[in-house]
Amino acid sequence: MNKLKTIKGGVTAAKGFRAAAVFAGIKPSNKSRADLALVASEVPAVAAGVFTTNRVKAAPVRVSRAHLRAPQACAVLLNSGNANACTGPCGIAAAKSLTASLADVLDCGVRRVLVCSTGRIGVPLPLEKMTEKLPELAARLSAQGGRDAAQAIMTSDTFAKEFAIEVRAPGGVFRVGGMAKGAGMIDPNMATMLCLLTTDAKISKGTLQNALHTAVERSFNRITVDGDMSTNDTVLVLANGAAGGAPIKSGSPEHTLFTEALNEVCTRLAFMIVRDGEGVSKFVTVQVRGASSLQAARKVCEAVANSTLVKCAWAGNDPNWGRILDAAGYCGVRIREELVDIYYDGVVAVRGGTAAPTPKDKLVKAVSGDKFTVTIDLHQGKAFYTVYTTDLTEKYVELNLSE
Amino acid sequence: MNKLKTIKGGVTAAKGFRAAAVFAGIKPSNKSRADLALVASEVPAVAAGVFTTNRVKAAPVRVSRAHLRAPQACAVLLNSGNANACTGPCGIAAAKSLTASLADVLDCGVRRVLVCSTGRIGVPLPLEKMTEKLPELAARLSAQGGRDAAQAIMTSDTFAKEFAIEVRAPGGVFRVGGMAKGAGMIDPNMATMLCLLTTDAKISKGTLQNALHTAVERSFNRITVDGDMSTNDTVLVLANGAAGGAPIKSGSPEHTLFTEALNEVCTRLAFMIVRDGEGVSKFVTVQVRGASSLQAARKVCEAVANSTLVKCAWAGNDPNWGRILDAAGYCGVRIREELVDIYYDGVVAVRGGTAAPTPKDKLVKAVSGDKFTVTIDLHQGKAFYTVYTTDLTEKYVELNLSE
C-alpha cells in the first residue's frame, strides 16, 4: 500500500487551517483581482522558514525572519503587486505595522504573524488600503479558502500552484499541503517565489526546520528559469498538530514519511514554477554525473542550465551540444573535455568530447518535445546533481522588457 | 601634440605585414563569401597570445599556444565557418596539418605558423578544401589585404572590425593595428572572438606578452554580451620591428606609448564587438565604485551586466533599478543595501538603497538612448571596476534559436 496519497487542495488541505483572499487594490492595474491573502491556523502552530540569500532582502523577509524566533505562529499574510523591497526603513515599518494590525484583528501576539510580499520592487506599500481590508479578510477565513489564497499571490503566473498529500503513518493520518507562486527571477537558492506549506502533523520546531531545509534543498534550490535570485524568496511551513496523535520523533517511521511528503509537495510546486516560467516552452532536466565532487556536479549543472545560448538553442529545437560543452568548460570545474559524454533523453550526442555518430534527426527529435533530459557524464568520479530548468524564448524577453 | 594618431586600416597598417583572403567553402551555406584569411609578416616577428580560459579548448587554440613557444612567428591562418572545437584528436591533427602545409607554401618553420578558427563547434574541419587553397592565399598576400582578412573572419558579425594607430615616439614612428570578430558568446575572459594585432615596433617577446596581457585585461576581458565564454577565444599579436630603430625598452617613453596604443586598439575593437553583439540595440557601460575590493567591484559589475532581467529591462527602456540592486545583492559580495546609490547617466535613481525622488521620465530618458552608463556606488571602500555590455533583445533570442 502506498502510504503517500495526493489529495485535493493546498494550504487548507491539512486540518485546522483556513484561508481567504480579498482585493485591496495594491497594484492599481490589477483591477479587481484578489491581491491580499491570509492563511491562519485555528490553534497556534510551530513554524519554520527558509529565505532568500540575496544581500538585498525585502522588508517582509526581515520581519518574518525575526518573528519566526517566536515559539509559535498563527497566521501568514501574503500580497502580490508590491514586493516591499528596496523600500528602506519605511518599508520595514509598513511590514511591521501590517503584522501588528492583523494581530489585533486575530487577537494574537504580533510575533505570531508572518508576512510575505511579491511584485514590483522599490514602490512603497499602500499600507492604508491593505490595513483596512484586514477585518474583511479575517471574516472570510474558510477551510475552503486555499484556492483563493493561491490565486491572490499570483503575479505573472498563469495558473495557481497548489499541491497536497495525505500520509497514512503507523501512528495515524496527517496531511501536508502548500501553495506557491513563481514566474520570473527563478534561480537556485530560490527566486521571486513564495511558498507557504501547512501540515496538521504534530512536530517540534527544530525537526520541522530541518525537514524544511532538506526539502527546499531538493526542490526550490534546484530550479532555475533566468538565473536571477530575488529579494523576496520565502518558503514557510506551519505545523499545527491538528491531526492529533503523538509528536513525530526524529528517526521514527512517521518522521521518514513526513520528510518524504514535504519533499514531494515542495518538488511538485517547484516543477509547477518551472513549467510556468515566463514565456517558457520546455521543461528541461539537466543531470550531471561522474563528477569529482557534489560541488563540481552542481557548478556544471547550473552553468549549463543558466547559459543564455544553451537555452536559446533548446527553444529552437537545436540539439546544439557544443554550447553545452562550452558552458561546462567555463564554469570553473576542471573537466576533461576528452572524457565527456552528453545525452539528450538517453540518445548519445557526444562521446569522449566529440560528436557521437548519432543521426542528427534523432537528436532533433529528442529536444523537440516540451520536456526532455540532458545528461552530462564527466567520467571523473561518482558525484551527481540535477537541476530543473527551461528554454529561453523571445516571449520571455518580450515579457520582461518592462515590469 | 597628440602622439597617438588614428590611421586607416587594420592588420596591414603596420609596415611589413601583408594579408589576403579566399573563399574555401568551409561552411557550405556561406556561398562565395571569403572564409579563409592569411596574415603574414615579411620578416620573422616576435609573437604573443592570450587564449580562452575555458577548459574546453578548440584545436587551433591548443596548436597556436604550443607554437607560440617558438621564438618567432611568420604567419597566422584564420578561418570562419568552423571552430574546429570538440573535434578530438582528428581536430588537433587537422590544425597541425594546416600549419605544416602553410609552412611549406611560405617556406618557413612549421612552428612559425599560428592558426585560429571560429564558427560551428563539433564539425570536422574540411581540411582538403582548405589546404588546396593555401597556395592561392599566399600568392594573393598584399599590403592592402587587411580589409579582406577582416571580412573573411566574420561569422554573425554585421561589419568588419579594424582599427589602427600611428605612434610618434621620441625614438621614431611605429604603428599598431588589428582586426577582430565577435558577435555571440561574448563574455569577460573573452569570447567567441578572435583578434589579431600587428605592429612594426621592435620589442622583445616578454615585453610584448606583458603588454598584451594588460591590454586584454582592460578591453576584451571587460566586455560581455551573453555571459557565455567560448572555446576559441584568441588574441594574438605579431611585432616585426619593420619600423626600425632601437628595441622598445621596458619603462622607456616608447614603452609607455606602445602600451597605450595597444590598449587603445584593443579597446576600440572590443567596443566594436559589443556594438555588433547579436541583436543588440544598446551599448551599456556598467561602473561600480565604492567597493571594498577590486574583486568585489568586478563581481557586482559582472552580475549586473549578465543579468537576463536587467538586460531585458534596458531593451524595453525601463529604468528598472530594482533588478540592478537585486543582481548586486545575489552575486556573493557583502554589499550593504542601505548604502547603495545607483545612477543612470549621472541621474540618481537610487539613494541609500531606495528610490531617489527623481521624476520617472528623467530616468526613462536616460535609458532610452542607444548608449548610457549605469553607475553603482556601494559606499564601502575605494575600489572600482567597469564592464561594457548590451541589452538583451527578442532579436538576440531569435538569432540564437539555432546556429
Q: How far apart are CA B124 and CA B86, in angstroms?
A: 9
User: Chain A within 8 Å of B364 (Cβ-Cβ)?
Assistant: no
Q: How far apart are CA B303 and CA A55, in angstroms?
A: 13
DSSP lists the bridge partners of residue B166 as B5, B175
Closest CA to A277 of A156, A398, A151: A156
- Check residue B29 and give its pLDDT: 72
List the single best residue of A308, A311, A337, A403 to mutate versus B (max B Cβ within 10 A): A308
Q: How many CB atoms lie within 10 A of CB B153?
A: 29
B315/A397 Cβ within 8 A: yes
User: Chain A within 8 Å of B185 (Cβ-Cβ)?
Assistant: yes
Report the chain A residue with the minimal C-alpha distance to residue B316.
Answer: A401
A350/B86 Cβ within 8 A: yes
User: Chain A within 8 Å of B400 (Cβ-Cβ)?
Assistant: yes
The predicted-structure confidence for A122-131, as pLDDT tens digits, reads as follows 889 999 999 9
User: Chain B within 8 Å of A339 (Cβ-Cβ)?
Assistant: no
B325/A121 Cβ within 8 A: yes
- Residue span(s) of chain B under CATH 3.60.70.12 come to 4-275
Contacts of B300 in chain A (CB under 8 A): none
Contacts of A123 in chain B (CB under 8 A): 355
- Check residue B245 and give its pLDDT: 87
Task: Look up cell 501568514; give the residue.
Answer: A76
The predicted-structure confidence for B169-190, as pLDDT tens digits, reads as follows 988 999 999 999 986 544 444 3
| The residue type at B280 | V
The predicted-structure confidence for B59-92, as pLDDT tens digits, reads as follows 999 999 999 999 999 999 999 989 999 888 999 9
Contacts of A313 in chain B (CB under 8 A): 400-403
Widest CA span in chain A: 70
Pair A104, A140: CB distance under 8 Å: no
User: Chain A within 8 Å of B353 (Cβ-Cβ)?
Assistant: yes
Closest CA to B276 of B144, B122, B399: B399
Q: How far apart are CA A351 and CA A357, in angstroms?
A: 9
**Strands A4-7, A161-169: pairing kind:** antiparallel
The predicted-structure confidence for B216-261, as pLDDT tens digits, reads as follows 988 988 887 665 567 788 999 999 999 998 999 988 999 999 999 9
Q: How far apart are CA B212 and CA B391, in angstroms?
A: 29
- Check residue A191 and give its pLDDT: 40
A229/B330 Cβ within 8 A: yes
- 3-class state of residue B147 by DSSP: helix
Cell reading at A205:
520546531
The predicted-structure confidence for B321-351, as pLDDT tens digits, reads as follows 988 998 899 888 999 999 999 999 999 999 9
CATH architecture designation of domain A4-275: 4-Layer Sandwich (3.60)
Q: What is the dihedral of CA B42, B50, B184, B371, to 10 degrees?
A: -90
Pair A7, A166: CB distance under 8 Å: yes
Closest CA to A193 of A156, A225, A246, A235: A235
* Catalytic sites of B, residue numbers: 192
Task: List chain A residues with pLDDT less than 50.
Answer: 185-191, 403
In CATH, what number does A283-399 get? 3.10.20.340
Pair B341, B377: CB distance under 8 Å: yes
Report the chain A residue with the minimal C-alpha distance to residue B86.
Answer: A354
Residues 6+ apart with CB under 8 A from A261: A4, A165, A167, A176, A199
Q: How far apart are CA B267 and CA B273, in angstroms?
A: 10
- Check residue A401 and give its pLDDT: 65
**Strands A194-199, A234-239: pairing kind:** parallel
Element holding B50 (H helix, E strand)? strand B36-51
**Strands B4-7, B161-169: pairing kind:** antiparallel
The predicted-structure confidence for A287-345, as pLDDT tens digits, reads as follows 999 999 999 999 999 999 988 888 888 888 988 898 899 889 988 899 999 999 999 99
CB-closest option in A86, A327, A354 to B353: A86
Task: Look up cell 543588440; give the residue.
Answer: B280
- Residue span(s) of chain A under CATH 3.10.20.340 come to 283-399
Report the chain B residue with the minimal C-alpha distance to residue A82.
Answer: B322
Average of per-residue pLDDT values in chain B: 91
User: Chain B within 8 Å of A92 (Cβ-Cβ)?
Assistant: no
DSSP lists the bridge partners of residue B375 as B287, B343
User: Chain B within 8 Å of A119 (Cβ-Cβ)?
Assistant: no
List the single best residue of A123, A360, A401, A403 to mutate versus B (max B Cβ within 10 A): A401
User: Chain A within 8 Å of B394 (Cβ-Cβ)?
Assistant: yes
DSSP B110: G
In degrees, rounded to 5, the angle at the alpha carbon of residue A333 between the alpha carbons of residues A332 and A337 is: 115
- Check residue A187 and give its pLDDT: 42
Cell reading at A227:
538565473
Report the chain A residue with the minimal C-alpha distance to residue B318.
Answer: A402
Q: How far apart are CA B196 and CA B214, in angstroms?
A: 16
